[in-house]
Amino acid sequence: MTTPHTLGKDAPQPGTPLVALTGVAKSYGNVRALRGVSLEVHAGQITCVLGDNGAGKSTLIKIIAGLHPHDAGTYAVDGEEVRHSSPRQALDRGIATVYQDLAVVPLMPVWRNFFLGSEPTKGRGPLRRLDVAAMRATTREALARMGIDLRDVDQPIGTLSGGERQCVAIARAVHFGAKVLVLDEPTAALGVKQSGMVLKYVAAARDAGLGVVLITHNPHHAYLVGDRFVLLKRGTMSGSHLKEAITLDALTREMAGGSELDELTHELSRTPAVTEPADGADPETRA
């Protein structure tokens, strides 16, 4: 059975990023989805990637997750340059990705989804079968270690809230030995309370020693937990900051467009007011 994640003697030297992208570019035919993007992911830290729709966040996720190879630049894991050709290769190197549309089977219980694709068995030959008791117990223990308190691991995962499902996915990645956890907009479709729950467990994954990549379009959520911020705009980097070097207001302003926002505000303020015709004037003959 796979053991929970621990940082042992094989962990990278202090200061060495778990994942480092330098000048990465990706094109699909004549469309340049990314160009010149760099970021670092360190153990025990959260790197937030911010940008609006079409900024290139999805393409960046696919490169880190091994779904699509990069066209230019370098991609290094633990200081070693790599070129993933499948998500399995990235997963084997400890990079787990939790997508916004969680890959779960709604009618299956929580413990079954927790081990989906990695089920332990007992017995041999024709008597070989799933070790259901071990999966139930391990799921309870893994969730409890992350501080996640579910009523019953036998309940269908489809009955959980969106925030609870995200938390189960995070706990699963930690349990199965991920060193880097990539989260695709985990709070995008959640309310305030559930978003807070998910961010709590994102921080718990960081505190367990993982390097976390949090993809989001919400600077307020990013600033609550982030240590590093990379801003994307139309496939290029528009900024890269450490938390101590930027305020929330500055981060929000930079993501919103900065000077472009000022220009829009100026244009809107100059819009002439619509005036009503003077008393007794004919609306058809007003100037």
Domain ranges of the chain: 19-255
Amino acid identity, position 116: L
∠ CA(73), CA(83), CA(116), 5° rounding?
A: 130
pLDDT score recorded for residue 264? 54
C-alpha span between 57 and 60 (Å, rounded)? 5
SS3 at position 245: helix
Report the interhelical angle of 132-145 vs 162-175 (nearest 10°): 100
Does 19-255 carry CATH code 3.90.550.10? no
* Pure H helices in the chain: 57-64, 87-92, 110-114, 132-145, 162-175, 192-207, 219-225, 248-256, 259-269
Global pTM value: 0.80
pLDDT score recorded for residue 123? 87
| 8 A C-beta contact, residue 141 and residue 184 | no
Strand 80-81 and strand 72-77: pairing?
A: antiparallel
pLDDT score recorded for residue 118? 86
Per-residue pLDDT in tens (0 to 9) along the chain, 287 residues? 444 444 444 544 557 899 999 999 999 988 999 999 999 999 999 999 999 888 899 999 999 999 999 999 999 999 999 998 889 999 999 999 998 777 788 999 999 999 988 888 988 888 899 899 999 999 999 999 888 888 899 999 999 888 888 899 999 988 998 999 999 998 887 888 889 999 999 999 999 999 999 999 999 999 999 999 999 999 999 999 999 999 999 999 988 766 555 565 556 766 555 556 656 555 555 54
What number of other Cβ atoms are within 10 A of residue 93's Cβ? 18
pLDDT score recorded for residue 46? 96
